[in-house]
Copies of this chain bind each other. A is one copy, B any other.
């Protein structure tokens, strides 16, 4: 590993709260992001669906169909989600903003148990961007969409002046259908449930960091960005009784688990030794003083499931290309509701708090 840290454009990872202006941490997926949503957006947009704060909104259209002749009942619920991608740099080991934008929204939809079907793409392009680069990004989006089995059905393009916009920002929004009998939501974790992750954590964040901060590692760490809807469909084949699924992107596994603990009013007890972290990611995190629990993922999921189904689920996950390293990392408990704790390698216990700002901005 060679050390060429670049402190230009350095952003404070733990900014002060109660700031009168937007700071990078408001986009970090941690406490500051949550405060912005709770104190600014929710009061303005007030409605029950938004307040559920899942990775996607779950919509029941049955009541919205006004034609009494059609007598439609038990209409499948829709999952609807949106995500904007402002990642720097646009190209990174193993991917680019295009496939990331597809996988990100596919996964947000899939976390409700839905099969993602249709995506929109909204581009904000910077004047001066090369058409060749945009073409490469669009090709990657098309490929990622075909791989995930979704169709890009509607789009929009805006152009902003040179010097603004960082080349390309992409918003993807999407729709999926939730199978009957599936009820996955952040508030459904129960004491006794088991916490599963589908593989090595922190890979995407470290892959971005390695190119952003001018670090060169002996092995190139590639993003693990991948569509997880196939894996989730396989899991739902084993049992529809999955309580929570979560995409631990910004804020990492730590922030996602804290949100679940708070929404479900339960405690979560992790075992650090069980958390899968690859050698290169561990080395990079040690070098940079980062905690892999807080590093962003894309292509990873957290599943919280009844203990009784954990064994067959793990078996099925491990047969899937995106779940070969699936493993149990903790348990849900009625102790310390709202808190996530981890048994450390030394046998002690530490509180795993929600991220306040962010370790590395603009990771997705």
Q: Chain A interface (Cβ within 8 Å of chain B)?
A: 9, 11, 19-28, 33, 36-37, 40-41, 44-47, 49-50, 56-57, 59, 61, 64-67, 70, 72, 74-76, 78, 80-86, 115, 117-118, 120-132, 134-135, 138-139, 141-142, 145, 151-161, 163-166, 169, 171, 173, 175, 177, 179-180, 361-362
Contacts and interface: CB of A to CB of B under 8 A. Distances in A.
Label chain A's interface by main secondary structure. Answer: mixed
Contacts of A61: 76, 117, 177
A45 B173 contact: no
Given A82-B155, A118-B57, A155-B50, A128 B173 contact: no
Contact of A84 (B49, B57, B123): B123
A283 to B, nearest CB: 28
A70 B64 contact: no
Contacts of A19: 131
Nearest to A167: B22
Contacts of A180: 67, 70
A177 to B, nearest CB: 6
Contacts of A166: 160, 164
A27 B157 contact: yes
